[in-house]
Amino acid sequence: MNSLEHEHEETPDLRAVAAAEPGGLFEGDTGALPLDARRALCQLLLGPSVDQKRHGQLWPVLLRHEKALRSRLCELFLELVIDRDAGVAFTRQADTGELETPVLLRTSALTFIDSVLLLYLRQQLAEADAQGHRAVVEEAQMIDAMSVYEKNVSTDRAGFAKKIAASIVKMKDSHVLEKLRSSEDRYEVSPALKLLFSAEHVQALVQVYRDLREAGGEGDDER
């Protein structure tokens, strides 16, 4: 047997090496996180959040592997935000100062109606928290709350109603609103809004939109 043949026979199969890697879950896997932690990481990246109620199995995993998950997200210039009391976590772009870094998180522009609806839902969440219960809203309730802004958006009542309906759909798609199983038109407001809008932000926005209502001018539907 020549040296080349001998070397070929003694060289271990790379596939076997990969499969034998400690913690390897599939061929070529060099990751260090266990399977459940990787699932939590994927859900954080998929967004919009990991919710203790919607992700009952992932929530304790996220807390158990918080340090490792934070490290992985930092490598992507992302920050992990956790509210243990509310049972919700999500990722946001890290403040990297003067560094030029890629932006991985998808963003969508908010219309005027989207903005005031989010503010309304945030206020409902604050009131519910103060009373110690979940924030639940009805579609008719949201539509009625938005009606005070009709003159700022459109003189076309049917068109304004369509804008509100579209905004409610957007809130459902992004899981800001979660439909209650026992009802067709009642929703729970996600506690994640507390992390997205601080009390200071709410107060500032309240004043802005109060001024708009009182002015009665035309609103910019794309802000």
Tell me: do 7 and 85 sit in the same domain: yes
**pLDDT tens digit sequence for 2-19:** 444 444 444 444 444 444
Lowest mean pLDDT among 42-46, 172-176, 209-213: 209-213
Tell me: do 88 and 130 sit in the same domain: no
**pLDDT tens digit sequence for 148-170:** 877 766 667 778 888 888 999 98
| Mean of pLDDT values over 70-80 | 94
Which pLDDT value is given to residue 79? Answer: 94
**pTM for the full model?**
0.63
State the total domains in the chain: 2
Q: How far is CA 86 from CA 50, 186, 189, in A?
A: 11, 20, 12
Alpha carbon distance 223, 127 (integer Å): 26
Of 170, 57, 159, nearest to 117 by C-alpha is: 170
Range of the domain at 184: 112-215
**pLDDT tens digit sequence for 184-217:** 789 988 887 877 776 666 666 666 666 666 655 4
Tell me: do 201 and 140 sit in the same domain: yes
Tell me: do 118 and 202 sit in the same domain: yes
